[in-house]
Structure 1
Amino acid sequence: MKLLFLTPYPIQRAPSQRFRFEHFFKFMEEMDLTYDFSSFLSEKAWGIAYQRGNLVSKAFYVIGGYLSRIKMLFTLGKYDFIFIHRELTPFGPPVFEWLITRVFKKKVIYDFDDAIWMADQNQENFLWKALKWRSKVASICKWSWKVSVGNEYLGDFARQYCDDVVLMPTIVDTSIHTPPIHHKHPMPVIGWTGSHSTLFYLDTILPALTLLQERLEFEFLVIANKNPNLPLKHFRFLAWNKQTEIDDLSLMDIGVMPLEDTEWSKGKCGFKLIQYLSLGVPAVASRVGVNNEIIQEDFNGYFAQTTEDWVSRLSTLLEDHQKRRTLGNNGRLLIEQKYSVNSQKQTFFNLFNDQP
């Protein structure tokens, strides 16, 4: 059986791909499967995609991406299943998805891990909204053989259009994501990791951190691709680096995941929490979306809503080393049971089960 994976980004680059399905590629041979991989963005395009400027080069690479999709259509005959992550092209209607499913009659497994049918930025102008053509998500769900989603909120949307929707959570490889054996810094570290597009969530907890630093000593660590330069007494920024990602995350004693209570946030799949807990780091999070399924109050972390909540919950963990260790160990067990490669391996490969 041969599979084709069609993705927006090059292999081993984007978290949404690395921690949803790329982990399973190493098992393909033992499952008697072969696969090819084709991304819209090339490696060179990925290198400049999120930089300012370079508009001519970016346009050139976008055109190249569309040409690669056209070329792909002529190879479809040799594949039994087509796995599409998020979308085949960044702009316009789902022409290629329609051709694959309706003209070439291929069985498509459609995968997404965000509420990509809605705008993620309130400031989007009319032209950008038109270019993104987000209504295509519903169409692709309708045409797909199966839909794989990261949480139940996304699943509820997909079930309006597809009868076979599979919950496939974001996962980590627990043989790689392992709790550190070294002693951590004498000053406790509260940490957050994410991309530049989600840094605004830190505004939610900045008042709490400011109050907290008046009576407790702690460092606040941000791991991202942009420095937010937070006005805190002990603030530290580390540029995200795939090679040091786990070591950097292991510096944390407490992880935080603040969210706004919006429809877009409900589509988030809790990846930050999954990373923290996999390393034995307890977490404090907003009670939004899938966070409600991952965090178990006073077992592997806490929920916080108001500034007072954040101060109280973080204080508890900062002042009690044993509590941090106990909750962290409990979190690790949860990840092994529900959010690990081993726990979801069969779910993933069942996506390609052709039996009724």
Structure 2
Amino acid sequence: MRVLFLTKYSEKGASSRYRFYNYKKYLEENNITPSYKPLFGDSYLKYLYKGNTIIKNLLAIYFVIKRIFFLAFNIKRYDHVVIEAELFPHFDYKFDYFFLKKIKSFSLDFDDNISANYQNTSRKDKIPQLIKMANFVTVGNHWYFSEFKGNLIYLPTVIDLDQYSQHNVQEKDEMPSVVWIGSPSTQKYLLLIEKSLVNISDKFNFKLKIIGGNISLDRKINVEYIQWDSKTENLNLAKSDIGIMPLEKTFWENGKCGFKLIQYMASGIAVIASDLQANKEIVENNVSGFIVSSLPQWEKKIYELLQNKELRYSMGVAGRKTVEERYSYQVWGKKYADIIKNNK
């Protein structure tokens, strides 16, 4: 079975990598031959992160034209097409529809609530219409089931256990540490709990490790900035003590899939996360971590875990067990292959 994955980015884009490229060997083991064709090349990502809007937009136009030509001459070669969210971001539904109607079997995948981008525009019905048109739609958390109508299938964003083999075996940092992992586009969420981190800093000596971000926070907070590297990611997490995932509670964030939490838990550390659907599905409150819904709760729970080494350890062990049972490619690899084969 020949399956084309029309991803948004190459393997350098985290969402594309974890939800598509990392499934390659599992698909091949289950008689599926995957091909990958990203919309945006690596040069686009480079200028996206640099914040160079003019060059980024020019590249976007080029890559859109390139996708149009590819679809016009190659799409009929495949038995099924998997599309990361939408064919052409920010275009009208009719533009996507023109190409989709020529595809004999296709599915969509969402690990972000892309429909939030169109909420107050003339294109607000684009994503619901695409979902109804697709053979099936894989989604990263169950919130989507209450929000959209269509053939929705749950597919969490997961990790490779072989890449997260070290948990609670690394020597921890001498100073207790709180860790956040992400990208420049999501580091803004740290500002939501900055005040709590300042208050804790006044009474407890700890380090905040920021992996993949460079945001400036209050000088009272002892911050260590770490460049993201796939080779050292697990080690940096495993040497930490508490993983955090603060989020706002809006229409956009409701579609988040809690992947940071899975990374933390796979590394065997306790977690604290905002009260959102995906986070509550992943974290068993008071067992593998804490789900919090206010700034005072953030401060209380971070402080509690910083003071309690035994509780951090027990939550880390419970979190690792959850990931081993529910959130790995080892668990979902064949399942995803079966989803494609049984729903095309």
Structure 1, gaps ≥5 residues long: none
Counterpart AA for 1:112: F
Is the helix fraction higher in 1 or 2?
2
Q: May I ask how many residue pairs the two structures share in their alignment? A: 343
CA distance in 1, matches of 2:156, 2:40: 25
1:80 Cα offset (Å): 0.5
Counterpart AA for 1:111: D
CA gap of 1:349–1:96, structure 2 versus 1, over 3 A, is: farther
Match of 1:7 in 2: 7
Structure 2, gaps ≥5 residues long: none
The CA RMSD over aligned residues, in Å, is: 2.3
* 1:158-307 mapped onto 2 (5 Å cutoff): 158=148, 160=149, 162=150, 164-180=151-167, 181-307=169-295
Q: Secondary structure at the match of 2:109?
A: strand
* 1:135-146 mapped onto 2 (5 Å cutoff): 135-146=125-136
Is the contact between residue 199 and residue 228 of structure 1 (CA under 8 Å) also seen in structure 2?
no
Match of 2:38 in 1: 39
1:237 Cα offset (Å): 1.3
Q: Secondary structure at the match of 2:171?
A: coil
Is the contact between residue 197 and residue 221 of structure 2 (CA under 8 Å) also seen in structure 1?
no
1:191 Cα offset (Å): 1.1
CA gap of 1:166–1:198, structure 2 versus 1, over 3 A, is: same
User: What is the CA deviation profile of residues 279-310 of structure 1, one whole-angstrom value per residue up to 9, with x for unaligned ones?
Assistant: 00110112122111111122101122333322
CA distance in 2, matches of 1:201, 1:64: 30
CA distance in 2, matches of 1:226, 1:326: 31
Structure 1 segments of 4 or more deviating over 4 A?
none
* 1:299-338 mapped onto 2 (5 Å cutoff): 299-338=287-326
Counterpart AA for 1:137: I
1:241 Cα offset (Å): 3.0
CA distance in 1, matches of 2:98, 2:311: 55
Match of 2:142 in 1: 152
CA distance in 2, matches of 1:287, 1:193: 18
Percent identity, please: 27
User: What is the CA deviation profile of residues 183-203 of structure 1, one whole-angstrom value per residue up to 9, with x for unaligned ones?
Assistant: 111110011122223222222
Q: Which of the pair has the greater relative contact order for Cα pairs under 8 Å at 6+ separation? A: 2
What's the TM-score once normalised by structure 2's chain length? Answer: 0.91
Counterpart AA for 1:154: Y
CA distance in 1, matches of 2:84, 2:305: 38
**Is 1:115 paired with 2:113?**
yes
CA distance in 1, matches of 2:48, 2:190: 25
User: What is the CA deviation profile of residues 59-95 of structure 1, one whole-angstrom value per residue up to 9, with x for unaligned ones?
Assistant: 1452233223322331122210000011222231245
Q: Secondary structure at the match of 2:209?
A: strand
1:58 Cα offset (Å): 4.2
